[in-house]
Structure 1
Amino acid sequence: MKQDFRDFHAALAALDDQSINPGRQPSLSDLVDHSRRGLLKGSLGLAGMAFLGGGLSACGAVAARSRLLGFESVPAQLDPAFDSVQVPPGYRARVFFSWGDRVETDAPQWKADASDDWQAQLLQAGDNHDGMHFFPFTDAPTEHGLLAINHEYVNPPLHPDGMSLVDGRRPLAEVRKEQAAHGVSIIEVRKDASGQWQRVHPSRYNRRISTLTPMAVGGPLAGHELLRTAADPSGTRIIGTLNNCSSGFTPWGTYLTCEENWHNYFLNRDAEDLAARTAHARYGVAGGERSKLYGWESADERFDATPDASLPHGGYVNEPNRFGWVVEIDPFDPQAQPVKRTAFGRYCRECAVLSLGEDGRMAFYSGDDSRGEYIYKFVPSGRYVPGADQQNRQLLDDGTLYVARFDADGSGRWLALVHGQNGLTAEHGFPSQAEVLLNARAAADRLGATPMDRPEWVAVHPRTREVYVTLTNNDQRGDKAAVDKANPRPQNLHGQILRWREAGGDPAATRFEWEIFLLAGERKGARGADGKPVPAHLTGTIEGDAFSSPDGLAFDADGRLWIQTDYGDDEPAMQVMGTNQLLCADPGTREVRRFLVGPRGCEITGITWSPDYRAMWINVQHPELSFPASDGQSRPRSSTVLITRDDGGVIGT
């Protein structure tokens, strides 16, 4: 099982990290529009100057030891047999919710040999826990709520003997179980009489949403011919959600789950059609005889996207078009159908993070997590009105999608992906706004957006509204001619975090000022096992505890920036980092401290808090050994972990 696990994740990483962007890297002269520099700097005035004054010029040193970070740093965990979670003194961590735990009322108990069938899995916690959010009940917000938890993909231990092929085909029962283990779990949680958080089961709120759950479609592509298939000639009823990575939420209390590497599940055997179909080729839909890794098309016809002229709407050639969206879920209404919001645009979306202005204007930020892809934001046309829930629920179906350009002088611009503007016309393959949104990557290519080093999670500071994004890594950017100021390393194994401030602090602004908050990697002056200085491309600018490959990112209410990592802890350049970790940074001093280390082989991901910030939940995804049992024998299970302070205080203080 161990070897199968490593092989599977190596293959998955190779697929997810591949570069699909066919365009050239823009040169710095392409990126900088000299004619508008004066206008931009003048319009930002002192706000932009103050931002940069405390930023770019202060990269070399911590101004003062952070008063935000009130915990003792945890050492890196280098033990190859480490199979637990370690937190600072004065804190405790306990496993709260694991793959296979009961969700729906009639769910059976999980079987330790993984022999549960797919019908059981539909009622139990899915695999590979990822993004999540806590939704409080208004009558007791710090004691009672709902957790919405993403399940990104599946691991081989989902089945008793791993994934199998029978005569070159995947067994339908295995595929159905894998489909059931994707999606979202919604679970009720509350404090018991002793003040300890517990799961509530049974509960009328507990609910599983999967790749087999019917969903509605909202926005410009609802009913569009490009969403119609042989099974859904109306283009208004999509079955399921896939590869649910990070997430977001709305001010009216709904959950936004995001579909990331959905392209790995589809196949188009028609090489000529695949090459000519932007909606497939630009997103990496597989050709050949088997889809990448999963092989679902051999058991479920809707994942075979080869055009079939004998069937209505070409069979399932449009099925991939029905994934890559933001899905809105009402956690408090188990009967409410999830809705795919197509105005957000389609790509391999990592998250949909809200910035809410005082006047009700909103922006939702997202990264497209592949090498050389882009950072986007969606700005609804309308404004949020507190208490007007029915009106607010229509806001996500109309607005403007933007893509970011990071210029070399520290300025930036949001480029609107709007049909009829900037070459997004029929003659260039965009006959309507529907095609612009469906092929957002290709539209961003044409506008000259800045290709980034795998954009991941976004976080917005709760008071300043400064925006941060993790660029996890990119070791295939190319030679030095391909780098730029925002992505400065040609062989970027460790990644970086960028931040920017929108003009006037307005989430809907189209101009911003940006900087690199930190370059991840080993500390300056570090030496390797051979005693030689660590190469420059492996050295970062971190003030404090070193880490690699920043991924998950979130702010708490006090302005602490929590950073989660995702790297192969057995890779040579990563072994000095130990197992994956959760760190905390002070945005003002830039000091970074390690708060948590996880078990061998895992990714640390997903983060949310109770409203009083006295309880934190994080996710341990794909542990390799036997976590959470940690007995050296049990099947490993992705798990949500609850972290509290022994004295009941606020996490991080």
Structure 2
Amino acid sequence: MKTLRQQHDDFHEALEAQGDVSVNPSGNPSLNDVICLRRRGVLKGTLGLAATGFMGGTLAACSSDTGKTAPGFKGVPIQTATDFDTVRVPPGYTARPFFSWGDAVLAQAPAWRTDAGNDWREQLMQAGQNNDGMHFFPFPDNPNRHGLLVVNHEYVNPTLHRDGFEDVDAKRPLAQVRKEQAAHGVSVIEIEKDEAGQWQRVMPSRWNRRISGLTEMEIRGPLAGHGLMKTVADPDGKTVIGTLNNCSMGVTPWGTYLACEENWHDYFVNRDSEDQRVSHRRYGIGEGERADKYAWNTAEPRFDATFDETQAFGGYLQEPHRYGWVVEIDPFDPESTPIKRTAFGRFCRECCTASLGEDGRLAFYSGDDSRGEYLYKFVPEGRHIEGDREHNRHLLDTGTLYVARFDGDGSGVWLPLVHGENGLTEANGFADQGEVLVNARAAADRLGATTMDRPEWVAVDPNSREVYATLTNNHKRGHAHPINAANPRHDNHHGQIIRWREQNADPTATRFTWDLFLLAGEAQGSRDENGQPFPDHLTGTIDGDLFSSPDGLAFDASGRLWIETDYDDRDPLMKNMGCNQLLCADPQSRQVRRFLVGPRGCEITGITFTPDQRTLWVNIQHPKISYPASDGTTRPRSTTVVISRDDGGVVGT
């Protein structure tokens, strides 16, 4: 029998392999005549709108420190030790574990058991596993000392159970499946600084709440009640049970949280090999190498999306259509029902980052985190009205979804995914706008969008309103996906960060200009362990501390760009990178400095600040070593870490 650590490693290899399955047959677009990378200067343009940013759930004014965005701390060295089991930050800073898997969220929650013996009902009252995207929502009367921290719990590891994932006669035990569903979702916790200046969780609290894979949610927008959302268990197509694989997130100007459903396809199976429907196959739902990784279908029928002619609506044929959306949560109303906002379109959404213009027009940016997929933008039909919460709460139900085309001359176009336009017609398989949104990937294929190298987090510069996005990696670039100007390296193991400026700095514009902010990877002239120079496709353009596979991305209120990484630190190509990192970059000089390294086997993800930037939270996800106990034996726990300067100053300076 495999050890729990072997199960952990095997499980992550399986998830990585799932990401390698190419489900984009389009080959969009082939720009082989512009594969030479040009390092363009900062794009010039007219800023017609004041820059804005979302800090602490409220609208922040344009920083007065424009041009003072260089990192001011001493960089942390790379950590290559195979037994590195802690979090290291610069001199003068302190990092401490704050909120770990199994910690109490509700007052009646039992203590977490080190043998993972808590059952699923107890897990529903505790922090879920694999903390990811998060945001701090301050209380207005004391915004830098008191607020709500909202944290995503993306997925589960075998460590969730005492002896790992089990099956009996090829069936998963229902009790295990229920615990796995309970460990997904979102935690809302009230937090406050004590008299000694230390952040503490408040217990009990009227605000504390667990939202999970078992929480009832409302479907709103164009797909509410649509035929594509109906199942034998929900013939009205308006209610869905749970949210799954919440990776990154977004925040609205009216103070709500947008959880994003990323690799939801990992939970479903379609056992009919002859079923080639686009809404399943284009998202990787099938059998064999595309089958679900958790085998929930063996314990709960709704995760088996195979057509059943004996049941209404084909049984659970359309259950996968009910995932892959933006989920809006009101952290300040613990009795509210989460809402799946279907106007945003359905794909493996990594984030939902807002950009707000002076006139109230809004855009929300998202990456579809799979190799060869696309970058999207949703523009609500209405405008945000400051202080009018009743008006704003309906903004996300109507609007236009766009997908990006990055042209080889540094220009770009947002292509509208609108039924009846650009070939999105019934003759081509799109009967109405609902079909377009459920099959957003296929609609983007038809429009000729640019295939990207795993587009993930998006961040908007509060000083310039330039938009940055991480393209984490794609070792199939140049093979399954043709090289193009925005993704110029074959066998792209290290990834890049792309940025663009909307025309007239208008978030709703349909044209933009773009450049590559940096290519991650080895420095020019560096050598491998055999003393040989690295080939061009592993060499980057980083000015400063090296890293690979940028993933999480965020700006602080001053305009410093924070970059989080997610690479396999066991991969020989990552030997020089050490453990995963948090870095800080100056968007003007492009200088990069390493701020944090995490324990072996982890991913660095999730980032949020207090409005005064004196507290930073970051997540340590799926550590292989026994973090945060650091005793070499305790079961590792994903953990939210709180970081501050010892002198109480601004983080990053």
Question: For this structure pair, what is the TM-score category when the shorter chain's length is used for normalisation?
Answer: over 0.9
| 1:16 has 2:19 as partner | yes
Q: Which residue of structure 2 aligns with residue 580 of structure 1?
A: 580
- The Cα of 1:312 is off from its aligned counterpart by 1.4
- The Cα of 1:478 is off from its aligned counterpart by 2.6
8 Å contact from structure 2 (residues 28, 445) kept in 1: no
- The structure-2 alpha-carbon separation of the partners of 1:314 and 1:474, relative to structure 1 and needing over 3 Å to count, comes to same
Equivalent positions of 1:135-146 (< 5 A) are: 135-146=137-148
| 1:6 has 2:3 as partner | no
CA deviation vs aligned residue, 1:495-545 (integer Å, no higher than 9, x gap)? 000000000000000000000000000111111122221111111000000
8 Å contact from structure 1 (residues 66, 591) kept in 2: no
- The structure-2 alpha-carbon separation of the partners of 1:29 and 1:490, relative to structure 1 and needing over 3 Å to count, comes to closer
Q: Which residue of structure 2 aligns with residue 78 of structure 1?
A: 80
Q: Which residue of structure 1 aligns with residue 171 of structure 2?
A: 169
- The structure-2 alpha-carbon separation of the partners of 1:635 and 1:143, relative to structure 1 and needing over 3 Å to count, comes to same
> Counterparts of 1:496 and 1:423 in 2: how far apart (Å)?
32
Q: Which residue of structure 1 aligns with residue 486 of structure 2?
A: 486
Partner SS, residue 272 of structure 1: coil
- The Cα of 1:25 is off from its aligned counterpart by 3.6
**Aligned residue type for 1:2:** R
Equivalent positions of 1:620-635 (< 5 A) are: 620-635=620-635
> Counterparts of 1:482 and 1:596 in 2: how far apart (Å)?
35
> Counterparts of 1:343 and 1:420 in 2: how far apart (Å)?
16
> Counterparts of 1:31 and 1:487 in 2: how far apart (Å)?
11
- The structure-2 alpha-carbon separation of the partners of 1:361 and 1:481, relative to structure 1 and needing over 3 Å to count, comes to closer
> Counterparts of 1:354 and 1:481 in 2: how far apart (Å)?
29
Q: Which residue of structure 2 aligns with residue 53 of structure 1?
A: none
8 Å contact from structure 2 (residues 466, 501) kept in 1: yes
> Counterparts of 1:482 and 1:67 in 2: how far apart (Å)?
36
8 Å contact from structure 2 (residues 85, 600) kept in 1: yes
Q: Which residue of structure 1 aligns with residue 455 of structure 2?
A: 455
**Aligned residue type for 1:68:** A
8 Å contact from structure 2 (residues 343, 398) kept in 1: yes
8 Å contact from structure 2 (residues 184, 213) kept in 1: yes
- The structure-2 alpha-carbon separation of the partners of 1:601 and 1:480, relative to structure 1 and needing over 3 Å to count, comes to closer
**Aligned residue type for 2:429:** G
Q: Which residue of structure 2 aligns with residue 473 of structure 1?
A: 473
Q: Which residue of structure 2 aligns with residue 256 of structure 1?
A: 258
8 Å contact from structure 2 (residues 18, 289) kept in 1: no
- The structure-2 alpha-carbon separation of the partners of 1:46 and 1:2, relative to structure 1 and needing over 3 Å to count, comes to closer
8 Å contact from structure 1 (residues 269, 289) kept in 2: no
Equivalent positions of 1:484-523 (< 5 A) are: 484-523=484-523
> Counterparts of 1:418 and 1:290 in 2: how far apart (Å)?
29
8 Å contact from structure 1 (residues 480, 490) kept in 2: no
8 Å contact from structure 1 (residues 483, 489) kept in 2: yes
| 1:203 has 2:205 as partner | yes
Partner SS, residue 333 of structure 2: coil
- The structure-2 alpha-carbon separation of the partners of 1:102 and 1:626, relative to structure 1 and needing over 3 Å to count, comes to same
| 1:343 has 2:343 as partner | yes
Partner SS, residue 436 of structure 2: helix
| 1:402 has 2:405 as partner | no
8 Å contact from structure 1 (residues 267, 304) kept in 2: yes
8 Å contact from structure 1 (residues 263, 286) kept in 2: no
> Counterparts of 2:333 and 2:69 in 1: how far apart (Å)?
41
Q: Which runs of no fewer than 5 residues in structure 2 stay unpaired?
A: 36-42, 48-66
Q: Which residue of structure 2 aligns with residue 59 of structure 1?
A: none
**Aligned residue type for 2:485:** K
8 Å contact from structure 1 (residues 31, 405) kept in 2: no
Deviates more, 1:592-601 or 1:472-481: 472-481
Query: In proportion to residue count, which structure has more helix?
Result: 1
| 1:422 has 2:422 as partner | yes
- The Cα of 1:18 is off from its aligned counterpart by 2.6
8 Å contact from structure 1 (residues 474, 493) kept in 2: yes
Q: Which residue of structure 2 aligns with residue 598 of structure 1?
A: 598
TM-score (norm 1): 0.94
- The Cα of 1:66 is off from its aligned counterpart by 7.4
> Counterparts of 1:95 and 1:286 in 2: how far apart (Å)?
40
8 Å contact from structure 2 (residues 217, 241) kept in 1: yes
> Counterparts of 2:557 and 2:469 in 1: how far apart (Å)?
18
- The structure-2 alpha-carbon separation of the partners of 1:440 and 1:67, relative to structure 1 and needing over 3 Å to count, comes to closer
Q: Which residue of structure 2 aligns with residue 26 of structure 1?
A: 29
CA deviation vs aligned residue, 1:318-347 (integer Å, no higher than 9, x gap)? 100000000000001110000000000000
| 1:132 has 2:134 as partner | yes
> Counterparts of 2:375 and 2:410 in 1: how far apart (Å)?
16
Equivalent positions of 1:239-278 (< 5 A) are: 239-273=241-275, 275=276, 277-278=277-278
> Counterparts of 1:27 and 1:337 in 2: how far apart (Å)?
44
**Aligned residue type for 1:15:** Q
- The structure-2 alpha-carbon separation of the partners of 1:234 and 1:114, relative to structure 1 and needing over 3 Å to count, comes to same
8 Å contact from structure 1 (residues 268, 288) kept in 2: no
1:190 to 171, 192, 200: 192
CA deviation vs aligned residue, 1:100-125 (integer Å, no higher than 9, x gap)? 00001211111110010000001100
- The Cα of 1:271 is off from its aligned counterpart by 1.6
**Aligned residue type for 1:577:** M
CA deviation vs aligned residue, 1:345-400 (integer Å, no higher than 9, x gap)? 00000000000111111000000000000000000010100010010010000000
TM-score (norm 2): 0.94
Q: Which residue of structure 2 aligns with residue 542 of structure 1?
A: 542
8 Å contact from structure 2 (residues 372, 481) kept in 1: no
Q: How many residues align?
A: 624
Partner SS, residue 518 of structure 2: strand
Deviates more, 1:593-602 or 1:473-482: 473-482
CA deviation vs aligned residue, 1:525-584 (integer Å, no higher than 9, x gap)? 111122221111111000000000000000000100000000000100012100000000
> Counterparts of 2:298 and 2:485 in 1: how far apart (Å)?
45
> Counterparts of 1:493 and 1:442 in 2: how far apart (Å)?
26
**Aligned residue type for 1:144:** H
Q: Which residue of structure 2 aligns with residue 147 of structure 1?
A: 149
**Aligned residue type for 2:199:** W
> Counterparts of 1:360 and 1:578 in 2: how far apart (Å)?
44
8 Å contact from structure 1 (residues 66, 589) kept in 2: no
- The Cα of 1:47 is off from its aligned counterpart by 3.7
- The Cα of 1:45 is off from its aligned counterpart by 7.9
